């Protein structure tokens, strides 16, 4: 048997599957461990539910990778401290490389007083909820009629889309610490909600903050024109929801009633300060109240510290010592500050490396770069293993002893077929089982002999 490398990829989102793709093409044995039963990460559980073509296209590509003979998918497994397997246990099994593409599973807070009141939510939890990720799908995520959403990126757009089309709230108030020139959403994404935007009120809001914009050389009039130019091809509204913006306003406090239910937000006026090519918001100490009954923070994510890699301030630490290579190896290498050395053979990519950075294409490219770095490492630092198959089996046996419900690609084919049939029965574009138990019941039933035709 020829010597091979065993590569373990932790996290089957766009970044991890990009690594699995390239590493398996190079002939290595690739084991993919994934927290969710299904692969895809935020491509499955983040992208807005009505983007069927995008999601379907991505799924098709992922199936192709995961059904290769040298790719071994094990879902329903968490790596980390207190989870099924720790990083140290994985290292002890001596894979040639361990790639962490676990995404950014922690939520970022901006430390606002009162942010634990009832009616305060984090955007990613809402996103997981409306995309039916088990664990989030069944919680009610009750919203009132006047919802403040903090942030102005693509995730804010998806939250506003959900609030208007599904929750059908009366008003969505977008609260932005900086100004309209610093909006972060993709102009194409805003089409999903631009029909709800109250354009008269937007004009008044830009006039309100015009002097503060002009103080840093921005023209409110031009920015308003640019924004409006993006409001083309707006999707048809599905409700009467109206959407308003509040710029140069920083949340100071969540206001709540005696039962600790949200009643509003205290916002501090800000001004802009130029910092190199960027701008920062500086508090002006004057405040105003925005009445609302729910608040959603859409201010980005941080990684899950419990994974157990060196961590600081919301991110996993990478090697600060730059190399001359392109892509630069150091950016992908996990690094231990205490010993001042890289963790040999441990790499990071995608949102686990740079939380909330970019769309699927960016995560995929990050996986490609990471694969180049891993390939360089394999060529210089580790001999291939004579017993790659044995190593993989040892890993699977250890995992099976910790998680009896390991889910493999074959199981997912059965599940996928059942979901397809259920979707047809209900005459809906897509059906998803919303709970792990329901998915596992289908898989167990199939294993017990009640075979479902295995086509996709
Ligand atoms: C609300 C929202 C909407 C988006 N919409 C779009 C869009 O329309 N178009 C677009 O191109 N991009 C969109 N994106 C961006 C895109 O989803 C991300 O760029 C991409 O998914 C990041 O990929 P990733 O592999 O780094 O992380 P993720 O997609 O988060 O994948 C991480 C994977 O790791 C697994 N995992 C996590 N922790 C562990 C653990 N401890 N052990 C084992 N496995 C673990 C998870 O189960 C998951 O499968 C959206 C993102 C969000 C948040």
DSSP code at position 350: G
CATH code of the domain containing 221: 3.50.50.60
Distance of alpha carbon 2 from its chain centroid, rounded?
Answer: 38
With bands split at pLDDT 50, 70 and 90, how would you rate the model's confidence at 48? very high
Give the pLDDT confidence of 245-275 residue by residue, as tens digits: 999 999 999 999 999 999 999 999 999 999 8
Give the pLDDT confidence of 439-455 residue by residue, as tens digits: 999 999 998 875 555 44
- 225 in a structural domain: yes
- 84 in a structural domain: yes
The predicted model gives 220-248 an average pLDDT of 97
- 395 in a structural domain: yes
**Residue identifier of the C-alpha nearest atom 12 of ligand 1:** 359
Q: Is 158 in the pocket of ligand 1 (CB under 6 A)?
A: yes
Please report the atom of ligand 1 found closest to the CA of residue 352.
26
Q: Is 281 in the pocket of ligand 1 (CB under 6 A)?
A: no
Q: Are 289 and 189 contained in the same domain?
A: yes
Kindly give the distance from the C-alpha atom of residue 336 to the centroid of ligand 1, in angstroms, as a whole number: 25
3-class DSSP state for residue 407? strand
Q: Inform me whether the pLDDT recorded for 46 exceeds 80.
A: yes
Q: Are 151 and 95 contained in the same domain?
A: no
Question: How many Å apart are CA 102 and CA 349, to the nearest integer?
Answer: 8
Q: Are 125 and 273 contained in the same domain?
A: yes
What was the pLDDT predicted at 454? 47
Kindly give the distance from the C-alpha atom of residue 350 to the centroid of ligand 1, in angstroms, as a whole number: 8
Kindly give the distance from the C-alpha atom of residue 454 to the centroid of ligand 1, in angstroms, as a whole number: 27
Q: Is 137 in the pocket of ligand 1 (CB under 6 A)?
A: no
Give the pLDDT confidence of 198-211 residue by residue, as tens digits: 999 999 999 999 99
Last residue of a domain, one of 255, 283, 299: 299
Q: Are 284 and 307 contained in the same domain?
A: no
Please report the atom of ligand 1 found closest to the CA of residue 79.
42
Contact 66, 32 (CB under 8 A): yes
- 424 in a structural domain: no
Question: How many Å apart are CA 241 and CA 193, to the nearest integer?
Answer: 10
The predicted model gives 4-11 an average pLDDT of 95
- 113 in a structural domain: yes
Question: How many Å apart are CA 434 and CA 250, to the nearest integer?
Answer: 36
Question: How many Å apart are CA 245 and CA 5, to the nearest integer?
Answer: 53
Q: Are 251 and 116 contained in the same domain?
A: yes
Q: Inform me whether the pLDDT recorded for 184 exceeds 60.
A: yes
- 454 in a structural domain: no
Total number of domains in the chain: 2
- 307 in a structural domain: yes
What was the pLDDT predicted at 121? 96
Give the pLDDT confidence of 102-113 residue by residue, as tens digits: 999 988 777 899
Question: How many Å apart are CA 427 and CA 421, to the nearest integer?
Answer: 10
Kindly give the distance from the C-alpha atom of residue 14 to the centroid of ligand 1, in angstroms, as a whole number: 7
Model pTM score: 0.93
User: Beta strand 106-107 with 262-275: parallel, antiparallel or unpaired?
Assistant: unpaired
Please report the atom of ligand 1 found closest to the CA of residue 123.
1
Reported as type and span, the H/E element at residue 278 is strand 278-291
Reported as type and span, the H/E element at residue 330 is none
What was the pLDDT predicted at 456? 45
CATH code of the domain containing 313: 3.40.50.720
Q: What range defines the domain where residue 391 resides?
A: 6-105+302-407
Q: Are 221 and 335 contained in the same domain?
A: no
Give the pLDDT confidence of 211-225 residue by residue, as tens digits: 999 999 999 999 999
Q: What percent of the chain has pLDDT over 70?
A: 98
Q: Inform me whether the pLDDT recorded for 32 exceeds 80.
A: yes
The predicted model gives 271-291 an average pLDDT of 95
What was the pLDDT predicted at 455? 45
78's CB contacts (< 8 A; 6+ apart) are 35, 84, 85
Q: Are 372 and 398 contained in the same domain?
A: yes
Contact 15, 366 (CB under 8 A): yes
Q: Is 78 in the pocket of ligand 1 (CB under 6 A)?
A: yes
Kindly give the distance from the C-alpha atom of residue 47 to the centroid of ligand 1, in angstroms, as a whole number: 9
Please report the atom of ligand 1 found closest to the CA of residue 104.
30
What was the pLDDT predicted at 440? 97
The predicted model gives 125-140 an average pLDDT of 93
Kindly give the distance from the C-alpha atom of residue 383 to the centroid of ligand 1, in angstroms, as a whole number: 32
Give the pLDDT confidence of 323-341 residue by residue, as tens digits: 999 999 999 999 999 999 9
329's CB contacts (< 8 A; 6+ apart) are 319, 323, 373, 376, 377
The predicted model gives 175-193 an average pLDDT of 96
Question: How many Å apart are CA 352 and CA 365, to the nearest integer?
Answer: 14
**Residue identifier of the C-alpha nearest atom 14 of ligand 1:** 359
Q: Are 69 and 26 contained in the same domain?
A: yes
The HSE-up count of residue 277 (CA atoms within 13 Å, CB side) is 0
Last residue of a domain, one of 407, 422, 450: 407
Q: Is 151 in the pocket of ligand 1 (CB under 6 A)?
A: no
Q: Are 306 and 377 contained in the same domain?
A: yes
- 128 in a structural domain: yes
Q: What six digits make up the tokens of 349?
A: 């990519």
The predicted model gives 394-415 an average pLDDT of 96
Q: Give the chain's mean pLDDT.
A: 94
């Amino acid at each position: 048997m020829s010597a091979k490398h065993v590569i373990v990829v932790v996290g089957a989102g766009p970044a991890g599957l990009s690594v699995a793709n390239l590493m398996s093409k190079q002939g290595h044995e690739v084991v993919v461990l994934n927290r969710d039963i299904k692969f895809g990460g935020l491509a499955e559980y983040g992208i807005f539910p009505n983007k069927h073509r995008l999601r379907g296209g991505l799924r098709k590509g992922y199936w192709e990778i995961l059904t290769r003979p040298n790719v071994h998918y094990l879902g329903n497994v968490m790596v980390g401290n207190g989870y099924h397997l720790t990083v140290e246990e994985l290292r002890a099994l001596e894979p040639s490389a361990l790639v962490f593409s676990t995404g950014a599973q922690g939520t970022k807070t901006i430390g606002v007083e009162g942010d634990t009141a009832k009616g305060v939510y984090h955007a990613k939890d809402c996103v997981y909820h409306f995309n039916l990720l088990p664990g989030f799908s069944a919680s009610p995520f009750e919203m009132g009629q006047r919802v403040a959403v903090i942030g102005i990126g693509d995730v804010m757009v998806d939250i506003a889309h959900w609030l208007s089309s599904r929750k059908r709230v009366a008003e969505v108030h977008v609260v932005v610490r900086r100004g309209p020139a610093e909006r972060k959403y993709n102009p194409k994404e805003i089409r999903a909600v631009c029909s709800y935007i109250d354009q008269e009120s937007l004009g008044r809001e830009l006039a309100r903050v015009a002097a503060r914009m002009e103080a840093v050389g921005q023209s409110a009039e031009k920015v308003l024109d640019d924004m409006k130019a993006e409001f083309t091809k707006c999707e048809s509204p599905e409700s009467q929801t109206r959407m308003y913006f509040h710029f140069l306003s920083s949340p100071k406090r969540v206001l709540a009633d005696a039962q600790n239910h949200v009643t509003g937000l205290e916002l501090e006026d800000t001004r802009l300060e130029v910092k190199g090519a960027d701008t920062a918001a500086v508090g002006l100490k004057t405040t105003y109240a925005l009445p609302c009954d729910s608040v959603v923070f859409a201010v980005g994510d941080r990684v899950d510290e419990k994974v157990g890699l060196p961590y600081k301030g919301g991110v996993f630490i990478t090697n600060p010592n730059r190399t001359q290579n392109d892509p630069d190896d150091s950016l992908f290498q996990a690094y231990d500050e205490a010993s001042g050395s890289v963790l040999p053979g441990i790499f990071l990519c995608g949102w686990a490396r740079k939380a909330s950075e970019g769309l699927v294409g960016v995560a995929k490219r990050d996986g490609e770069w990471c694969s180049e770095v891993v390939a360089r490492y394999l060529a210089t630092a580790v001999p291939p293993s004579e017993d790659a198959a044995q190593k993989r089996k040892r890993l699977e046996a250890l995992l099976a002893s910790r998680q009896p419900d390991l889910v493999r690609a074959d199981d997912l084919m059965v599940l996928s077929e059942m979901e397809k049939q259920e979707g047809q029965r209900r005459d809906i574009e897509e059906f998803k089982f919303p709970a792990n138990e329901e998915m596992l019941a289908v898989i167990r039933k199939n294993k017990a002999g009640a075979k479902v035709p295995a086509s996709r």
